[in-house]
Amino acid sequence: MVVDVNTALRACDPEAVPGLLNGMLEHREQPLCQEENSRLALLAKARDLVRALESPRETMAKYLWAQVRSESLIDPLANLSRWHKPSCLAAITACYDLGVFQVMANGQGQPLSVTDLASKVGTNVNMLGRLLKHIGAMGYIKETDADTYAPTNFSNALTIPTIGDSYPCFVKGLLPASLHFPTYLTQTNYATPTDVRSGAFQSAIKTERNMFEYLTAHPPPGFYPVKERLVQGMAESDATLLVDIGGCLGHDLQEFATKYPNEPGRLVLQDLPVPVKAARAYYLHSILHDWPDQVCKVILKQVAGAMEPGYSKLLIHENIIPSKGAEWEATALDIMIATLLSSKERTEEEWYALLEAPSWG
């Protein structure tokens, strides 16, 4: 079964929300500061409510970007409640590697026993049962009977590569560098990482390659006024409309073509350094945040050399970290790319400083 990619953006368990809210209201008259059992019961309901309301993408980002990194550095004996997150991460990754979630999704929502699942994926019944028991206890699959489970929106979303692949990618490739990051900062006297070949990733993995070179050698399993600012003023109808630089498989171009099927001009996917001259627009989506300023200036200089002054436009799709009230996903990503790429998510001031630098324009 192919799962709709929008499943990753929907609540994990919307059907559970009304019951959870009613359960929380049962405690509204009880003095939580005096009754420990009521406090713990309400806290459990609140956690279940968050889990139910979160989308699979938000859960993935919380586990892999923001929380497991810091909590793994804390002595787990100091607070046993912290164990559920790394344990769940390990269980989800193991079951993803086995193909369990795809088998569950193929069942069209019907419950499957651990014995059936183990037979279908070819693994040990006892160990799989223990893994699924914890994932079920966390609410990410539904325990319908003893050792029997049904899929949820969350588990179905794990069959979408951009969601599911993130778990083994992080656990097997990125987690070692993340856990090494505090040691690296100590060794460098907390200097800002800027060397793409000598950062926390290189120190942890024992390599001199930047992360992209390493992954190549060790492959792991908005809104913009397009018509007003791009289409209007094009040199000719068969000119190049948009070049997606570093666009990987072209998912952004596919979405652009779907939204603007009748607009003139060619769409060019450029994931190799072959210049396309004098396009109406050049698009950089999450490219510059992968590199420190000195490398970004080289990239921008190359793009500027292909642009036609007064005609071509440069579109940059990136995060901006505000001076106050930053979102946790953006700040988590900032720490991650500092760890892996010796780069950063930039503030508005840092973006202006980079884009207005005379050394590339």
Tell me the DSSP string of 70-99.
HHHTS-GGG-GGGGHHHHHHHHHHHHHHHT
Instruction: Give residue 166's pLDDT.
Output: 87
Indicate if 147 and 179 belong to the same structural domain: no
Instruction: Give residue 81's pLDDT.
Output: 42
Indicate if 154 and 96 belong to the same structural domain: yes
| CB 246 within 8 Å of CB 271 | yes
Indicate if 76 and 208 belong to the same structural domain: no
Indicate if 241 and 146 belong to the same structural domain: no
The verdict on residue 238 lying in a domain is: yes
pTM above 0.75, yes or no: no
| CB 76 within 8 Å of CB 82 | yes
Q: In angstroms, what CA-CA distances link 52 with 45, 57, 132?
A: 10, 13, 18
Rg (CA), the chain: 24
With the CA atoms of 33, 35, 38 and 39 taken in that order, what torsion angle do they form, in degrees rounded to the nearest 10?
30
Indicate if 10 and 152 belong to the same structural domain: yes
Q: Tell me: the pLDDT tens digits for 222-244?
A: 556 777 778 788 877 778 888 88
Indicate if 29 and 129 belong to the same structural domain: yes
Instruction: Give residue 69's pLDDT.
Output: 43
**Residue 84 among the catalytic residues:** no
Quote the CA–CA distance of 47 and 45 in Å, as a whole number: 5
Indicate if 212 and 238 belong to the same structural domain: no
Indicate if 212 and 335 belong to the same structural domain: no
The verdict on residue 360 lying in a domain is: no
The CA-CA-CA angle for residues 239, 317, 211, to 5°, reads: 105
Mean pLDDT in runs of 10 for the chain (361 residues)? 87 92 82 72 87 89 61 38 65 95 94 97 94 88 94 93 87 84 94 94 93 78 66 78 79 81 82 79 94 94 93 95 83 88 95 87 57
Q: Give the count of domains, the chain.
A: 3
Domain that holds residue 342: 226-355
* Domain CATH number, residue 155: 1.10.10.10
Indicate if 108 and 213 belong to the same structural domain: no
- Written as one letter, the residue type at 44 is A
- Which residue out of 134, 218, 285, 289 is catalytically annotated? 289
